[in-house]
Homo-oligomer: A and B are copies of this chain.
């Protein structure tokens, strides 16, 4: 991703940093159970932890494995032709999730994600990013500067980016949307320990071509 360079040294492991995701998949079809089960069953590395309950699915592993699985699962559901929405939360550095021994002094991971292969699915997304920047020994934090920097990174990435009330809109291939969301989350993680991002991703909505739904107000 443009503007995000790797730094040297061995980064802490994803487990040590509490890297994880939660996502829910919503096929707008009466055949939703089969679509969800098929999507969650896409091939994945055995090291990736995937636990589903009745509300969402928890995913834990390396950042690259997590994001690749999200792309593959959402694309699999979208391949059915149904209108599918996914809601994704990515988190790192939450004190309740980090392994013991992670001190304040440890530098956040400078990881760069590999490029994700495009899926062929046009995705429309509402994205938000929460750098939980308490500041440091020297004084207060500055979460808005990190957010504005992330939006600039997203624009550099070439995806269509537009500010909306309370969220930033992203339009592009499903893989580009996930790359942008995960790449900026990791970039902010170079400066802030605990960073969470949320994105609602819509694929195959009739509203894109049917103004009746888009104009409901």
Contact = CB atoms under 8 A, between A and B. Distances in A.
A126 B166 CA distance: 20
A133 B130 contact: no
B132 A54 contact: no
Main SS of the interface on chain A?
mixed
Interface stretch (A108-116, A152-160, A180-188, A198-206): A198-206
Contact of A130 (B53, B130, B208): B130
Interface residues of A, number: 74
Contacts of A33: 206, 210, 212-213
B200 A126 contact: no
Interface string A88-103: 0101001111000000
A68 interface: no
Nearest to A127: B55
A186 to B, nearest CB: 16
